[in-house]
Amino acid sequence: MNSTKTITDNRKARHNYTFEDVMETGIVLTGTEVKSLRNGQVNLTDAYAQIKNGEVFLHHMHISPYTHAYYNNHDPLRVRKLLLHKREIIKLIGKTKEKGYALVPAKLYFKEGKVKVALALARGKKTYDKRITIKEREAKLAMGRLNRQKHG
């Protein structure tokens, strides 16, 4: 049985991008970073991934310093390496060269005791796309309210 526990979800990315492909990646972390993640002390809002020299790195993911650590605490905004297979990285290089694509962390979660990142190959939404998404969400909520009133 796969036991997964969500740490955080990048809701801003879901608003600003349409996800075309999402893949599970590992991440290289220090001990104090993992302890801070267990406490939910993380922010993915402005985070993005970049490919450099055949490796994938995650930038601007803020993990707050662990409160009980003494001298060996981590830098909150340090660049962290993502773990992918070579063929996955080659596929991502090909896709990100196309105009309008970005690598965005969609979700951070624990899977069988290990921290995983759901890395999304995403295309930026235009302003009118965002408005359409908001209208659809509001219409869905209104329909739910009407159904509850009718049956409740």
- Residue 25: which CATH number? 2.40.280.10
Residues 6+ apart with CB under 8 A from 61: 42, 43, 44, 47, 77, 80, 105
Using pLDDT thresholds of 50, 70 and 90, give the confidence band for residue 6.
Answer: confident
Residue 149 maps to a domain: no
What is the structure's pLDDT at 152? 63
Tens of pLDDT, residues 56-80:
999 998 888 888 777 778 777 889 9
Structural domain includes residue 139: no
Distances (CA, A) of 120 to 19, 38, 46, 79: 6, 23, 14, 18
Confidence bin at 85 (pLDDT 50/70/90): very high
Instruction: Map tokens 């969609």 to a residue.
Output: 106
Is the predicted pLDDT of residue 36 greater than 90, yes or no? no
What residue numbers bound the domain in which 16 lies?
4-125
Number of domains in the chain: 1
pLDDT at position 143 over 80? yes
> Is residue 88 domain-resident?
yes
Does 103 reside within a domain? Answer: yes
Q: Model pTM?
A: 0.75
Tell me the CA distances in angstroms from 103 to 4, 64, 113, 123, 132, one per residue in order. 22, 23, 25, 9, 23
Residue 152 lies in a domain: no
Whether 147 is covered by a domain: the verdict is no
